[in-house]
Amino acid sequence: MNGKFAGMEMSVDKPERLPLLHPTTRQTLRDGNGNEAFLDLYSQDSKIARDHTLAIQRRRLRAARGRLRIEPEEIEADTVDLLASLTAGWHLVGLNGTVLDVPFSTDNARELYSAPQLAWVREQADEFVNDRGNFKPAS
């Protein structure tokens, strides 16, 4: 945005890197070569997030007209889908430092965020995308 509010803008449509922390030690996960495990994520304020949220709201409004209830599982699935859509890439490392050779894709991200045993990854990603301090001011 150029104009009268230009000096207040954040760079929300560029992914930033979240170093993944071990769920119990809170130390940065690293592979055997010392490379950090990470997720590249877009902001909750990004166009991707806004478009996704509007699509969810449209679907829910249509369901409300038909008097269908929204189930908690649907809300959770929507959250997982949003995080998957905000993920732009990764380098995944197991808790023991082994590189996980899982290619990045939105489907693989959805699987990562929906696994109960990996809730710690989902929590870190969710906190990161919702913290504006993780995204730089626009230049």
**45, 90 Cβ separation under 8 angstroms:** no
List pLDDT tens digits, range 49-95: 999 999 988 888 877 676 667 778 888 999 999 999 999 999 999 99
Location of structure tokens 């055997």: 32
- Cα–Cα distance for residue pair 88/101, rounded to 1 Å: 16
**90, 110 Cβ separation under 8 angstroms:** no
- Cβ burial of 135 (10 Å; 0-12, 13-18, 19+) is buried
The pTM score is 0.89
List pLDDT tens digits, range 98-122: 999 999 999 999 999 999 999 999 9
Q: Within its chain, how far is the Cα of 99 from the centroid?
A: 20
